Amino acid sequence: MPENVVPRRWRWWLPHVLGFFLVAAGWALALPVNGTYDEKDHIARAYAVTTGQVITNRTVVDRRDDHKPAFLVPASLLPGNGNVDCAWSPRPARSAACQRWTTDRVPVLTPSGAARYSPVYYLLVGAPLVLLPDLNGILLARLISALAAAMLLASAVGAALRLGSRLLALGVVLIATPMATNLAGSVNPNGLEIAAGIAVCCALLALLRAPDARLDDRAVRRLLVLVGIGSLVLLTVRQLGPALLTLIVAACATLAGPGRIAQLWRRRDTRWIIACSWSLGLAGWLGWLAYSGVARVAPVVRDAQHLTPAQLAQVLATRRIPFYLQQIVGQFGYGETKLPVVVVAAWYLLLGALVVPSLIHGGRRLALVAASLGTASIGLLVALELHYLPIIGWFAHGRYAMPAAAGVVLCAASAPQFERRLARLGRLRRYCTVLTGVAAVLHLYILAFVMTRFQSGPGARLDPFAGAWRPPVGTLLPLLAVLAGVTIIGVLSAATAGTAGTPDTEPAGTASPVHGPPGRHTLPSTTTAP
């Protein structure tokens, strides 16, 4: 295709897909099976759903003497039930060399804590597990999950650039934390859910805050489609979808430009895409809730706790909320692999370097929205604790709220005032380059830290090339994948920060092969919200 007719958006979207995919793929290739929260449960569930075992009445007694729902899966799919958790339980935690595999494909009953989860995500990743029910199939399933998340994250960056906000694009990069990319590169719907929340938030911010010149008819339709796809993912892959989507929509709507919501709703494609995706997603969520009984949780007397209000407040303030905040950056394995405090603090300093000045320059309404969204995200986790604590014990994880909590960073970054100030001072490119560069170094360090933990055991001296266990593709390839991914993202961030207009638009006053004649089908005049 000649250069002058190649759609410009693909020149930016595809490299971003590649960058995000390589970072998540590094995690996918580096970790042992079940090296991420509940992965063994999701692997068994994905195989079962793909082979028609959508619901099961079978149960087995697990290692804790609890009766768990179970599916018939090949024995070769996971390490033996006696040692699939051996890297972290029983304590002390050790290297992944303790796992023992078999090549026998005889069907065995395998427990799954995800037995009643929605089948949508598992249909996406399940085929490789059926075709290759072993470690190779698991690696392919992880890579499919990583690619799906990368496509959503790249689309979020595209929405940010459509808004004309380099800082919002930078916000996507920074909120794709090591925890988010770790989950994206595993068999776990939480990673795809986080990417979907980021995509929906960025697309809504672009629709509701972008200057009119950036939103011709085709651009609006693409953003609406992204909102629809992201909403469907949020509403169907995990149980908290409706609450998370509500928080995202409420925050973005509060920041909308004057009259923009009404103008958008007058468009027929807005009504069709948004109403249909939300209705279909909610219908699927309610239908699965009623069919599967996923909301019914059997009590676990051993773990249930009954605390006084004072005791509850103390534990929440001193243990649970700090755990939520640390996990957003990264607390790996099954929570036993904790990063040094200085590393977690460094990532929050990166986020603070973007969020704090954006809020200072962005005005009172922006600060109120960001504070309310952050409080509501923490409140959602606390509500889960209050509900489940007397039934099964402590339940919530910070990663559960990340699809909505990411909006704190994204909403702040979408305000144009701080970015304009940086641009006037000639510091925007340097600012974006420094923050993405520091994030790249932290990504590499954190992957090496977690690889060392699984290869040599907790507390070992940092060395991702040593240890009793090695990744099946070797130790170098995962590190090179992450290095390549963060390099691509860094170069793209610096390049977009140095451009005068959005990368997927033509100069004003010219006819674009992508968008048609200038000014055609633009939204009615609005102003960007402060």
CA dist 179 and 325 (Å) reads 11
- pLDDT score of 109: 94
Nearest to 154 by CA among 518, 409, 504: 504
- pLDDT score of 469: 97
CA dist 383 and 396 (Å) reads 9
- pLDDT score of 199: 98
Q: Which of 164-173, 237-246, 279-288, 510-519 has the lowest mean pLDDT?
A: 510-519
What is the DSSP annotation of 287-301? HHHHHH-TT-----T
User: How wide is the angle at C-alpha 188 spanned by C-alphas 186 and 194, nearest 5°?
Assistant: 100
CA dist 172 and 181 (Å) reads 12
Cβ-based neighbours of 512, under 8 Å, separated by 6 or more: 505, 506, 518
CA dist 358 and 481 (Å) reads 32
- N- to C-terminal Cα separation, the chain: 42
Band of residue 351 on the pLDDT scale cut at 50, 70, 90? very high
- pLDDT score of 309: 94
User: How wide is the angle at C-alpha 489 spanned by C-alphas 483 and 495, nearest 5°?
Assistant: 135
Cβ-based neighbours of 1, under 8 Å, separated by 6 or more: none
Q: Is the pTM of this model over 0.85?
A: yes
Band of residue 81 on the pLDDT scale cut at 50, 70, 90? low
Q: How do residues 438-447 score in pLDDT, each as one tens digit?
A: 999 999 999 9
Q: How do residues 109-126 score in pLDDT, each as one tens digit?
A: 999 999 999 999 999 999
Q: How far, CA to CA in Å, does 101 sit from each of 46, 78, 80, 227?
A: 19, 7, 6, 42
Q: Greatest CA span in the chain, whole angstroms?
A: 71
**φ, ψ dihedrals at 110, nearest 5°:** -125, 125
Q: How high does pLDDT run on average in the chain?
A: 90
Mean of pLDDT values over 41-56? 96
- pLDDT score of 12: 85
**φ, ψ dihedrals at 390, nearest 5°:** -80, 0
Q: How many other β-carbons are positioned within 10 Å of the β-carbon of residue 261?
A: 15
Residue 26 C-beta-side C-alpha neighbours within 13 Å: 30
Contact 24, 444 (CB under 8 A): no
